[in-house]
Amino acid sequence: MPFQTVSLAELAHRFKFDETPLKPVADLYPYRISSYYAGLITAPHDPIWQQCVPSLLELVDTEQHPDPLDEERLSPVPGLIHRYPDRAVLLVSNRCATYCRFCMRKRRVGCAGGQPALSAALEYIAATPQLRDIILSGGDPLMLSDDELHEILLALRRIPHVEVIRIGSRMPVTAPARITPAFCRMLAEHHPLYLNTHFNHPQELTSEAAQACRLLASVGVPLGNQTVLLKGVNDDSPTMQALLTGLLRLQVRPYYLHQMDLVRGTAHFRTPLEHGRQLIGALRGKISGMAIPHFVIDLPGGKGKVPVLPDSLTRVGEAVWQVQTSSGETINYFDPVSVAQ
């Protein structure tokens, strides 16, 4: 989809900094910021800046894995991730309006290689009757045109056992003008359909974002939000409270609060696991239960998401926690940040 972006040079001119040292970071992990999202930056290193402007700290982190969730192994065909028995992720784009510096798919989003054809993935879905729930992801599916997305949705609706379709998109946050009445009317043709978006900070709860969410809700698209817990961005109680209660005003239900994945190039965003558990616990009784998301870890090795509850983890070492997967398997989870705490 066409939209305006702000180059690193333009951002450097606006905020009076030298972008030269950041170019190697952008060469390794692509840079893009929509003009709208760049306009939300109030000062260097504010919460919006940290999410979208390259940092030299991305190059310092070489210990973590590019694909800790083992998505490549869990891709039986190009463009599809099949981790859970009844649902799969269909990767329909490798581009976004803004490239988040903490992206779980830094290894592929915005990188050379392009988007694989979806024919094999659609054939796999059609041949796998236990798949009843398909999540469109990427990149951002809304980088496709209305017609392109409509064709994908039609193809999925022709598969009898596909009951539910979900779309994961950050466009309501980074490029809300993409959400048009025509686009929403098209989505309404494919119910039951859900959209999960990705607000991380109250600065993102703008009037433009609110209008985008209202348009989606007006055609019966239920909205959820997945937030990532980010050091220095949203890891304090007042910020998190403002974000979660603000989402309800936008008709968006907080769904997940993610512990930062162990993705190479993102270690500087990571908070100790215990901090996240205490933060989510401190919200109870202060805000509506509707506003409190599930705090989850997406376990390395493709073991899936597990909720972090007061009694769901057992510390078994200095930086090691014992957790139980959805299948009942007990594994050890290494929390590297807590070593230095």
Q: Tell whether 262 is covered by a domain.
A: yes
Beta bridge partners of 284: 287
Q: Tell whether 263 is covered by a domain.
A: yes
Q: Looking at the predicted structure, is the pLDDT value of residue 96 above 80?
A: yes
Domain CATH code at residue 188: 3.20.20.70
213 marked as binding residue? no
CB count in 10 Å sphere of residue 220:
12
The predicted-structure confidence for 225-272, as pLDDT tens digits, reads as follows 999 999 999 999 999 999 999 999 999 999 999 999 999 999 999 999
Q: Tell whether 325 is covered by a domain.
A: no
- What is the pLDDT averaged over residues 159-180? 98
Tell me the C-alpha distance between 83 and 230, whole Å: 25
Count of the separate structural domains present in the chain: 1
Tell me the C-alpha distance between 102 and 260, whole Å: 8
100 marked as binding residue? yes
Pairing of β 193-197 and β 164-168: parallel
First-to-final CA distance of the chain: 44
Q: Tell whether 169 is covered by a domain.
A: yes
CA angle 333, 334, 336 (to 5 degrees): 150
Q: Tell whether 69 is covered by a domain.
A: yes
Find tokens 């022709």 and name the residue.
158
Q: Tell whether 88 is covered by a domain.
A: yes
- What is the pLDDT averaged over residues 67-95? 95
Catalytic residue IDs? 83-84, 87, 96, 100, 103, 105, 261, 298, 305
Distances (CA, A) of 53 to 11, 23, 142, 144, 256: 9, 11, 22, 24, 24
Q: Tell whether 320 is covered by a domain.
A: no
Q: Looking at the predicted structure, is the pLDDT value of residue 310 above 70?
A: no
Rounded to two decimals, what is the model's pTM? 0.92
Beta bridge partners of 158: none
Supply the pLDDT for residue 311.
64
Domain that holds residue 147: 65-311
Which residue blocks in the chain are alpha helix, DSSP H?
8-15, 23-28, 35-38, 47-52, 57-60, 119-126, 146-157, 171-174, 181-187, 207-218, 237-249, 273-283
Token output for 202: 């109250």
103 marked as binding residue? yes
Q: Tell whether 275 is covered by a domain.
A: yes
% pLDDT > 70, the chain: 97
